Chains A and B, each alone.
Chain A
Amino acid sequence: MTDDAAPALPKSLAEIREDFLALSESERLQLLLEFSRELPDLPERYAAAPGMLEKVEECQSPVRAFAEVSDGVVHFYATAPQEAPTTRGFASILAQGLSGLTPQQVLDVPEEFPLQLGLTRAVSVLRLNGMAGMLTRAKRQVVEQLAAA
Chain B
Amino acid sequence: MSGLLTSGLGWLRTTDQEEIMPAPLDPTPRLQEYAHPERLVTTQWLAENLENPDLVVVESDEDVLLYETGHIPGAVKIDWHTDLLLPVERDYLDGPGFAELLGSKGIGRDTTIVLYGDKNNWWAAYTAWVFTLFGHADVRLLDGGRNLWVAEGRDLTTDVPTPTPAEYPSVERDDTTFRAFKEDVLAHLGQGPLVDIRSPQEFTGERLHIPDYPEEGVLRGGHIPTAHNVPWATAVSEDGTYKPRAELAAIYQAGGLGITDEDKVITYCRIGERSSHTWFALHFLLGIPDVRNYDGSWTEWGNAVRVPIVAGDQPGEAPAA
Residues of A within 8 A of B (CB): 29-30, 32-33, 36, 57-58, 60-61, 82-87, 89, 111, 121-124, 126-127, 129, 132-133, 136-137, 140
Could you say which of A85, A87, A123 contacts B69, with CB atoms under 8 Å apart?
A85
B64→A86 contact, CB < 8 A: yes
Q: Are A61 and B214 in contact (CB under 8 A)?
A: no
Could you tell me if B214 and A124 are in contact, using CB atoms closer than 8 angstroms?
Answer: no
Interface string of B61-99 (1 = CB under 8 A from A): 011111011000000000001100001000000000000
What are 8 inter-chain pairs, A to B, with CB distance below 8 A? A36-B65, A36-B69, A61-B62, A61-B63, A84-B66, A85-B68, A121-B87, A122-B64
Closest 8 CB pairs of A and B: A85-B65, A132-B214, A124-B81, A57-B210, A86-B65, A86-B63, A136-B212, A33-B68
The residues of B with any CB-CB pair to A shorter than 8 Å are 62-66, 68-69, 81-82, 87, 118, 210-215
With a cutoff of 8 Å between Cβ atoms, the chain A residues found around residue B63 in the complex are 61, 83-87
B44, chain A: closest CB distance, angstroms:
22
Which residues from chain A contact B69 at a C-beta distance below 8 Å? 33, 36, 82, 85
Min Cβ gap B251→A in Å is 25
Is there an interface contact between A57 and B213, defined as CB atoms closer than 8 Å? yes
User: Is the Cβ of A129 less than 8 Å from the Cβ of B215?
Assistant: yes
B68 adjacent to A136 (CB under 8 Å) = no
> By the criterion CB–CB under 8 Å, are B214 and A133 in contact?
yes
Q: Output the residue of B64, B65, B87, B215 with the most chain A CB within 10 A.
A: B65
Chain B residues near A83 (CB, 8 Å)? 63, 66, 118
Instruction: Determine which residue in B211, B214, B215 has the highest number of CB atoms from chain A within 10 A of its CB, and name it.
Output: B214
CA gap between A119 and B87 in the complex, in Å: 13
Contact, CB under 8 Å: A136 / B81:
no
For B213, the chain A residues whose CB sits under 8 A away are: 57-58, 133
9 other contacts beyond A124-B64, A136-B214, with CB at 8 A cut-off? A29-B64, A29-B68, A36-B65, A61-B62, A85-B65, A85-B66, A89-B65, A122-B64, A132-B214
Shortest C-beta distance, B81 to chain A (Å), equals: 5
Contact (Cβ within 8 A) A30 B68: yes
Task: Please pick, from B64, B82, B214, the residue contacting A58 in the complex, using a CB distance under 8 A.
Answer: B214
Distance from A38 Cβ to chain B, minimum over Cβ atoms (Å): 13
Partner of B82, one of A84, A121, A129: A121
Smallest CB–CB gap between B314 and chain A, Å?
27
B65 and A32 within 8 A (CB): yes
Cβ contacts under 8 Å, A33 to chain B = 65, 68-69
Q: Are A58 and B210 in contact (CB under 8 A)?
A: yes
In the complex, what residues of A have CB within 8 A of residue B66's CB? 83-86
- Assembled-state Cα–Cα distance A32/B62 (Å): 16
User: Contacts of B214 on A, CB cut-off 8 Å?
Assistant: 58, 111, 129, 132-133, 136
